[in-house]
Amino acid sequence: MTDTDPLTADWTPAQIAVMHRLRDWVVDFGELNQHLATWMGLPGADANALGQIIWAAEADTPLSPAQLSRQIGMTTGATAILLNRLEAAGHVRRTRESADRRRVTLRPTPAARDRARQFLGLAGAEIAHVLRTTPPAELSAVATFLERMTAAADEANLRLGRSS
């Protein structure tokens, strides 16, 4: 890490453009999440949580309630209430899959997973087109860059979490 003040540093036009495009993606992704919420008949926070649970399950890295709390920026108590709503609506189930039976794992129900996949089929056509038509070398460079940006954000989050 350097001692550069990000607010006063001289940034190149390319660096500024990248930060603007990352921000644009975050905003558009949030808007897509709102469309998912409408599609699923859920409040935005519930749809965001369900999306995180489905994404993690698809990657075979299911979340615990504490991990979900950190990802969605809610307290553990608020997350428990949100999970109660998702479970009551038939979207999520809590299981105990670990040898440590105290550890709860969050899994989407098959119906919720299918409904979300229907949405992605409808809403993801343009994104899928870009992914399919981007040359592999460009995809690799972008993935490497985003891994580095994510690692930097993870470091900042850990540092900020320790100081609060």
- Report if residue 31 sits inside a domain: yes
pLDDT for 107 equals 95
What pLDDT score does 97 carry? 76
Mean pLDDT to the nearest integer, 132-148 = 97
d(CA 39, CA 47): 9
Confidence of residue 2 (pLDDT cuts 50, 70, 90): low
Q: Round to whole Å and give the CA distance between 31 and 44.
A: 10
Cβ burial of 83 (10 Å; 0-12, 13-18, 19+) is: buried
User: Sign of the CA dihedral 90, 92, 98, 100?
Assistant: negative
What is residue 81's predicted lDDT score, i.e. its pLDDT?
Answer: 96
Q: What's the mean pLDDT in 115-142?
A: 93
- For the segment 140-161, the average pLDDT, to the nearest whole number, is 93
Give me the number of domains the chain comprises.
1
| Residue 163 maps to a domain | no
Q: How many whole angstroms from its chain centre is CA 107? A: 15
Which among 158, 157, 160, 155 has a CA at the least distance from the CA of 2? 155
DSSP H stretches of helix in the chain? 13-40, 44-58, 65-72, 76-88, 110-123, 125-133, 136-163
Q: What one-letter code names the amino acid at 124?
A: G
Q: What is the pLDDT of residues 93-116, one digit of tens each?
A: 999 877 776 788 999 999 999 999
- Taking the complete model, does pTM exceed 0.85, yes or no? no
Is residue 142 domain-resident? no
**Secondary structure (DSSP) of 35-72:** HHHHHHT--HHHHHHHHHHHHHHHTT-PPPHHHHHHHH
- Does any domain span residue 114? yes
d(Cα 38, Cα 115) in Å, to the nearest integer? 12
Render pLDDT for 150-160 as a digit per residue (tens, 0 to 9): 999 999 988 88
CATH of the domain at 88: 1.10.10.10
The DSSP element (H or E) to which 92 belongs, if any, is strand 92-95
pLDDT for 123: 87
Q: What is the reported pLDDT for 38?
A: 94
Where in the sequence is the domain holding 117, given as residue range(s)?
14-133
> How does pLDDT run across 56-92, given as a tens digit for each residue?
999 999 999 999 999 999 999 999 999 999 999 999 9
Residues 17-55 pLDDT 10s: 999 999 999 999 999 999 999 999 999 999 999 999 999
Residue 1 in any domain: the answer is: no
Q: Is the residue at 151 inside a domain? A: no
